[in-house]
Structure 1
Amino acid sequence: MDGSEAIRQNLEALKRILAMLVAMAGMADAGGLGAGSLGAGRPGGARGVGDGAVGAGGQFTFFPRKGAAASRQVRAEKSKLSPALTLSRALYLAILRLLRPAEAATRRLIIAAARGIVVTLPPLRPRKPKPAMLRGPRAFLPKGPKKRPKPTSRILSLSLLDPPRRPFRLPRRVVPAHAAPRILGLDFSATYCPLPPPPSPDDPIDAERLGQRLAALGAALDDLPGQAKRFARWQARRDAAIARDGPVSSRRLSPLRRGRPPGGRLARYDPGAPLPHKIREVDEILAHAHALAIYALESPDTS
């Protein structure tokens, strides 16, 4: 089974989906997400986020944060850093429903592309023993003021492991603010505070984290061979740790979690079967990529 052609086709389809998501968010001209990270150029109809970006056809709008000065946004555009902006709740959830299966499909394509890659890990560095002065009376002396670490640019990278399931996690029982009981005192002269309105689809939500995830997905799609080597190094470190310490229950043995992939709606890939209702293109890509990843993990290429 040679999955190189299937990997290439799914990769191109995921790039188209990412371009659509970026166009929906109106972030095609934002810093950190350029034409190189999309693989197919900038989608038409999207404008820069610094001047009130709208998506294709003017349907999707960024909402600037309250109190953000225009000069701050101009400086952010000049430094190629996307300003802190928000999306409407409905648009944010619509992008997230497509982003989760796209991330899972990219992760599985990386696993399939890593089949047959052999890496050599460097030797482990010996741990340096603590100095003797720290074990003596000087360890109890007050320490000086801590130096502030220099701000470093965060490297965006797609996670190679599926988020684990938490079957024993209790759901949080939180009463929304608009449905909380009003307990009033006997002081009738106190001012009455009205309840906050219920959540609306037009409420602005912070989209900074969403933009980082889109940028990480674009970087992974642009450098699939590099991500495959990264996964091969993870496999080598896992095998070395198992050989040294034995299987530990807290260590991840498989990058994929059991059951259906995150965000997917198809249980298995069957190109000849009729598709159920409400199946999207990203669901078919995820099911196919999941089959390729399972084959790569169960039948490693040792030649």
Structure 2
Amino acid sequence: MDGTAAIERNWEALKRLLAMLVGMAEVGFGTGLGTGGQFTFFGQEDAAASRLARAEKSKLSPALTLPRHLYRAILRLLRPAEAAARRLIIAAAHGIVVVLPPVRPRKPTPAMRRGPRAFLPVGPKKRPKPALRTMSLSLLDPLRRPFRPCHRHMPAHAIPRVMSLDFGSPYRPLPPPPSPDDPIDAARLALRLEALASALDDLPGQANRFARWKARRDAAPAQEKSDADRSRRLSPLRRGCPPGGRLSRYDPSATHSRRIREVDEILAHAHALAVYALERADTS
């Protein structure tokens, strides 16, 4: 981490935004639609780990739900906050030199057994223990999928009814339209909040993590048989505007409309820092 004032200022702003998102989640979980308790976050890893361990043991996900309107409000702010944190990590990783360990040779594939023992079972396979559900902040932007099929869904209450010719069949009413207060599973949203908090709490460690990814990318051979049919990411940032952002460029002297949020300004500034750091790394 280079310790520039811009990175520190945006880092503190993201911490404040994350605290607000956690408060919104705690309010939603305490409304009766969720667990009814406090959102295990910020210094309560033991309680969160025990809850997730019990969930993995019982093959059930943690019963965390949020109202639909609150879930979408948190998600609209969480996505640009994740993109801004990712760009701060890229900017903080500039100048870090990482020495990669030597590449281990791949183990040869075992030959097929022959003879009378070919079809005998090798032995009981040990099942791996279920690991705790954890999530780390991705260092790469999700790519756009231009050829993704666009499915147009029509709400159930707007679909024309085709009555059956059997007059004796019971009438089935249409399902009600979705309500803003419908409970939505927020287990993955809670994991994303925890991942963002872990990344912001250890920004130098995340910068070293990105430096290792960049060193592995630069050390990868240009032509390799195993990578012939697999595309590799050349840049951690995708083209165009950052994910979830509403500003195309950072301009501190410009006046913005009311639809521009604080997280949009943070994301635009962090994006400019990341692009500048990547350009300096490429030219050096």
Identify the TM-score tier after normalising by the shorter chain: 0.7 to 0.9
Amino acid at match of 1:274: T
> 1:230 is matched with which residue?
209
Deviation at 1:240, TM superposition (A): 1.2
Deviation at 1:174, TM superposition (A): 2.6
Distance 1:78 1:115, change over 3 A: closer
Q: Deviations over 1:145-175 (max 9, x none)?
A: 6543311113321000000011121211333
- Of structures 1 and 2, the one with the larger relative CO (CA 8 A, separation 6+) is 2
- Is the CA contact 2:94–2:281 (under 8 Å) kept in the aligned structure 1? yes
How do residues 141-160 of structure 1 correspond to structure 2 at under 5 angstroms?
Answer: 147-160=126-139
Unaligned runs of 5+ in 1: 27-45, 54-60, 69-75
Q: CA separation of 1:9/1:181 partners in 2, compared to 1, >3 Å: closer, same or farther?
A: same
Find the aligned partners of 1:256 and 1:270 in 2 and give their Cα distance. Answer: 20
- Give the root-mean-square deviation of aligned CA atoms: 2.8
Distance 1:159 1:78, change over 3 A: closer
1:184 aligns with 2:154: no
- Report how far residue 274 of structure 1 moved: 1.6
Q: Which residue of 1 aligns with 2:21?
A: 21
Partner of 1:300, secondary structure, is: helix
Tell me which of 264, 274, 279 is aligned to 1:293: 274
**Deviation readout 1:113-140 (Å, 9 max, x if unpaired):** 00000111111111112333x3535555
In structure 1, C-alpha distance between the alignment counterparts of 2:219 and 2:119, rounded to whole Å: 39
1:94 match: 73
CA distance in 2, matches of 1:100, 1:244: 35
Counterpart in the other structure of 2:11: 11
Query: Match of 1:136, as an amino acid?
Result: R
| Structure 1 residue 80, shift from structure 2 partner | 4.5
> CA 1:194/1:145 → structure 2, altered by over 3 Å: closer, same or farther?
farther
Structure 2 residue 51 is the aligned partner of structure 1 residue 81: yes
**CA distance in structure 1 between the partners assigned to 2:234 and 2:241 by the alignment:** 18
- 1:144: Cα distance to partner? 6.6
- Whole-angstrom CA distance in 1 between matches of 2:98 and 2:119: 46
Distance 1:6 1:174 in 2: 44
1:265 Cα deviation after fit: 0.5
SS in 1 for 2:146: coil
Q: How many residues align?
A: 262
- Correspondence for 1:136 among 94, 103, 114: 114
